[in-house]
Amino acid sequence: MDFADTIRGLLAEQPFLLAPMAGVTDAAYRIMCRRRGARLAYSEMVSVAGLAYASNKTWRLVLPEDEEPQICVQLFGSKPEQFAAAVAAVQERVGDRLTLIDINMACPARKVITKGEGCALMEAPERAEQIVRACVGEARVPVTVKMRTSFTTGERTAPDFARRLEAQGAAAVAVHGRSAKQLYTGQADWSIIDDVAHAVDIPVIGSGDVFSAADAVRMLDETAASGVFIARGTYGNPWIFDDARALACEGMPPVVRSYAERLGALREHLGLTHRYLPLMSRARTYATWYLKGMPHAAAWRGSVVRCSTYEEFMALIDEIEADVSTCR
């Protein structure tokens, strides 16, 4: 089976993908985006070492909920043998709903790269090759890799790096247009997407500075990317997937969501978090994203961070709705 063609087919149906984001793309977040056009969604970054120790907390990151038809699982680590074992375990637990295994070679977080994981693997291409080879040898689904322009700012090692991983069986690569040293500062360089696409025969997914539906469509139009990862552009805007597809296919501009619709979505998101997660603490972050631009948003953000329970969050939304109605 040509797994590269499998990925091409998936991207032809919906090229705009919910990117894996540590601390963000839990089941509640994925379901919010799935209901609004994200056909392919990724887990948070999952430690292969954590899976090796059979941590329930780690497995909670992997397993999709009943409403989810599929999941792409992103793994990180530095030991090929742990990757192989993780792939086998994930396939067994997730079953037919596993779409692909993605290997994180892009994370720039200090606690990750100091262990030789994430984007540090771009500085160790032979180890990266071993990891891909180990995963491909075990996988019954496509194995893909997410990378950056390079580890060090000013270098452009991604094209050669991608070629090496393609030779080991990677079915696609995603490229974020920044170096590890840049973290998320400055402007993403989308030209690296073209450089990588011209270096390999497998599909390339573009990533970096996609903050709106228009950005997503522009990346697809202006680069050789076959698909687009949307990460921070989903913050408070789970509709971005339907909007981007409508804009790309029909030229329809994104709908401006009313305060009422945004608060309704926030209620929905809070309900999903209450149902699927053990704690409501994550809601303190994403709730503020939905409130951006609303009357008295700064004051309401201050109230959000003091909420601890589902009931407290919902009572606060009642107050915000009443305030917005009065302001109108």
Per-residue pLDDT, averaged over 108-127, amounts to: 95
Looking at the whole model, is its pTM more than 0.85? yes
| pLDDT tens digits for range 234-259 | 999 999 999 999 999 888 888 899 99
Per-residue pLDDT, averaged over 12-30, amounts to: 96
pLDDT band for position 326 (cuts 50, 70, 90): confident
Per-residue pLDDT, averaged over 19-41, amounts to: 96
Residues 6+ apart with CB under 8 A from 81: 134
For residue 74, the cross-strand partners are: 45, 102
The Cα 16–Cα 180 span in angstroms is 24
Share of the chain above pLDDT 70, in %: 99
Choice among 10-14, 23-27, 56-60 with the minimum mean pLDDT: 56-60
Tell me the residue type at 65: E
Question: pLDDT value at position 1?
Answer: 60
Question: pLDDT value at position 275?
Answer: 95
For residue 73, the cross-strand partners are: 101
Active centre residues (catalytic): 107
- Average pLDDT of the chain is 94
Question: pLDDT value at position 57?
Answer: 83
> CA 195, 196, 202, 207 torsion: positive or negative?
negative
Helix pair 297-304, 310-327: axis angle to 10 deg: 170
The answer to whether residue 328 scores a pLDDT higher than 80 is: no
Share of the chain above pLDDT 90, in %: 86
pLDDT band for position 43 (cuts 50, 70, 90): very high
Question: pLDDT value at position 183?
Answer: 86
The answer to whether residue 137 scores a pLDDT higher than 80 is: yes
Question: pLDDT value at position 242?
Answer: 96
The Cα 124–Cα 104 span in angstroms is 14
The Cα 98–Cα 105 span in angstroms is 20
More reliable by pLDDT, 183 or 106: 106
The answer to whether residue 56 scores a pLDDT higher than 90 is: no
Per-residue pLDDT, averaged over 152-163, amounts to: 92
pLDDT band for position 68 (cuts 50, 70, 90): very high
Per-residue pLDDT, averaged over 65-85, amounts to: 97
Question: HEC profile for the chain?
Answer: CCHHHHHHHHHHHCCEEECCCCCCCCHHHHHHHHCCCCCCEEEEEEEHHHHHCCCHHHHHHHCCCCCCCCEEEEEECCCHHHHHHHHHHHHHHHHHHEEEEEEEECCCCHHHHCCCCHHHHHHCHHHHHHHHHHHHHHCCCCEEEEEECCCCCCCCCHHHHHHHHHHCCCCEEEEECCCCCCCCCCCCCCHHHHHHHHHCCCCEEEECCCCCHHHHHHHHHHCCCCEEEECHHHCCCCCHHHHHHHHHHHCCCCCCCCHHHHHHHHHHHHHHHHHHCCCCCCHHHHHHHHCCCCCCHHHHHHHHCCCCCHHHHHHHHHHHHHHHHHHC
Per-residue pLDDT, averaged over 162-179, amounts to: 97
More reliable by pLDDT, 185 or 128: 128
Choice among 12-26, 53-67, 236-250 with the minimum mean pLDDT: 53-67
pLDDT band for position 154 (cuts 50, 70, 90): confident
The Cα 263–Cα 270 span in angstroms is 10
The answer to whether residue 174 scores a pLDDT higher than 80 is: yes
Per-residue pLDDT, averaged over 45-67, amounts to: 90
Question: pLDDT value at position 44?
Answer: 95
Compute φ and ψ for 207, nearest 5 degrees. -150, 145
Residues 6+ apart with CB under 8 A from 227: 11, 15, 16, 17, 203, 205, 206, 220
Pairing relationship of beta strands 98-105 and 227-230 according to DSSP bridges: unpaired
